[in-house]
Amino acid sequence: MAAIGRFQKGDDIFYAKVEDGALYKLKGDVFGAPSYQKKPIPKKGFRTLVPVQPSKIICVGLNYADHAAESGLEVPKTPLFWLKSPESILPDGGKIDIPFPDHRVDFEAELAVVIGRRIRNVTPKAAARYILGYTTAQDISDRTIQNSESQWARAKSFDTFTPLGPYIETKIDPDCLTIQLFKNGQLCQNSSTAQMIFTCSDLVSFISTNMTLLPGDVILTGTPSGIGPIESDDTLEVRIQGLAPLVNSVK
């Protein structure tokens, strides 16, 4: 386990390694060859931010066999993806804002890939070398808008619609992890990344043939079956095996 988080204390914004609840401040560039201070920083007086500030968020649709079956849709032959606004990201503990209370808005638990190096046109075999790590995410979706338009970016790009974090896990195999979502303590999504139609390496490779990926860019790898609606005062918790849980409420 090698978790890295992004934090703020006063005016100071910094990365730190998270180990047994203690923070060890980063020295150097998190996307380069970072090292860390040997002494932990005081635990009080800082807050956890989103782990990265991406230049773009790439979302992948229908990438779980169980979700495709649940939706009654054919499994795609190539990855289906679109762009989501970077301003939609929300830190762990933040509140999801539903802009239209009369619309149906759904939760979608997802494993997120964080790019660590500039990448263009790489093979799936080489893709892992360009990944910094993985974090927990949600792709909140306004279904009323999504079902009324052929493009999905607006329905998924409202501010707060991409909860992300709290940390990046840099040493984990993403191909067979339990992924779960609990709404108000009730298990709603319960699957495995082994259900993915296209692996994380497949996705990074495929997307890199269409656009240059930059350090800090985020790929949301799709959601499993069990999606459902949210409303005010709900609490959502995403748990992915080996990663820190992501907890957000709805206002």
Q: H helices of the chain, where?
A: 65-71, 124-127, 143-146, 153-156, 200-208
Mean of pLDDT over the chain: 95
Instruction: Quick: pLDDT tens for 207-234.
Output: 999 999 999 999 999 999 999 999 999 9
DSSP-derived letter for residue 129 is G
Q: What is the 3-state secondary structure (H, E, C) of 180-247?
A: EEEECCEEEEEEEHHHECCCHHHHHHHHHCCCCECCCCEEECCCCCCCEECCCCCEEEEEECCCCCEE
State what percent of residues in the chain have pLDDT above 90: 86
Query: What pLDDT was estimated at residue 103?
Result: 97
Domains of the chain in sequence order: 3-48 (2.30.30), 57-250 (3.90.850.10)
Mean pLDDT calculated for residue range 140-159: 95
Cβ(94)–Cβ(160) under 8 Å? yes
Output 151 or 169, whichever has higher pLDDT.
169
If you average pLDDT over residues 117-138, what whole number do you get? 97
Tally the C-alpha atoms within 13 A of residue 134's C-alpha that lie toward its C-beta.
Answer: 24
Nearest to 248 by CA among 190, 192, 197, 184: 184
**Gyration radius from the chain CA atoms:** 17
Q: Please report the pLDDT score of residue 45 as a whole number.
A: 86
C-alpha pair distances (Å), 216 with each of 30, 86, 96, 119, 195: 10, 11, 22, 11, 26
Q: What is the pLDDT of residues 88-100, one digit of tens each?
A: 999 999 999 999 9
pLDDT-based confidence at residue 74 (cuts at 50, 70, 90): confident
Q: For residue 174, what is the DSSP state? A: G
Strands 89-90 and 162-163 come out as parallel
Where does the pLDDT of residue 66 fall: very low under 50, low under 70, confident under 90, or very high at 90 and above?
confident
Q: How many CA atoms lie within 13 A of 144 on its CB side?
A: 10
Residues 6+ away with beta carbon under 8 Å from 73: 62
Whether the per-residue pLDDT at 162 is higher than 70: the answer is yes
Q: What is the pLDDT of residue 208?
A: 98
Q: Which pLDDT score, from 0 to 100, does residue 68 have?
A: 78
Amino acid at 121: N
